[in-house]
Amino acid sequence: EAELTKKSDTSDAQLKTAFKGFEDTLTTKSTQDIQDQIAAESKKLAAAINQNGQAVIKKIDTRLAGLAGEVESLVAQKIALATPNDDTEDKDKNEEPNPQDQPAATNNENVQPRTEEEAGN
């Protein structure tokens, strides 16, 4: 019985030692594995963030280019509206007629124009 207890204690001690060694190896390896996995996942995440950032930047650049085009178009329209028309035919049409070409203005609608006899006297 004493020998059995001794063998049991020895086996128990060996088991504890092996388990401790296995636990140390597992802990060390697991820690390293975890660190490696974290590093790999961090790289993937950084790449995804960078790729997403590039996509966002591209969308912003595209929108800014569109806005710049819209602003340019609006400025061109405003300039076109503000620029006087230089067409000489239109200027001739917009000029007021000469005073001798206009009928005489009267303040009273009941006033009759002079007849030729009145004008001759």
Q: What is the pLDDT of residues 97-109, one digit of tens each?
A: 565 555 555 555 5
Beta strands in the chain (DSSP E): none
**Greatest distance between any 2 Cα atoms in the chain:** 169
The answer, yes or no, to whether residue 90 has pLDDT greater than 70, is: no
Which of 17-32 are b and which e, b meaning 16 or more Cβ less than 10 Å from the residue's Cβ?
A: eeeeeeeeeeeeeeee
Q: H helices within 83-120, ranges in order? A: 88-94, 116-120
Domain boundary assignment for the chain:
2-86
pTM, whole model, 2 decimals? Answer: 0.37
Question: pLDDT digit string (tens) for 35-72?
Answer: 888 888 888 888 888 888 888 888 899 999 999 999 99
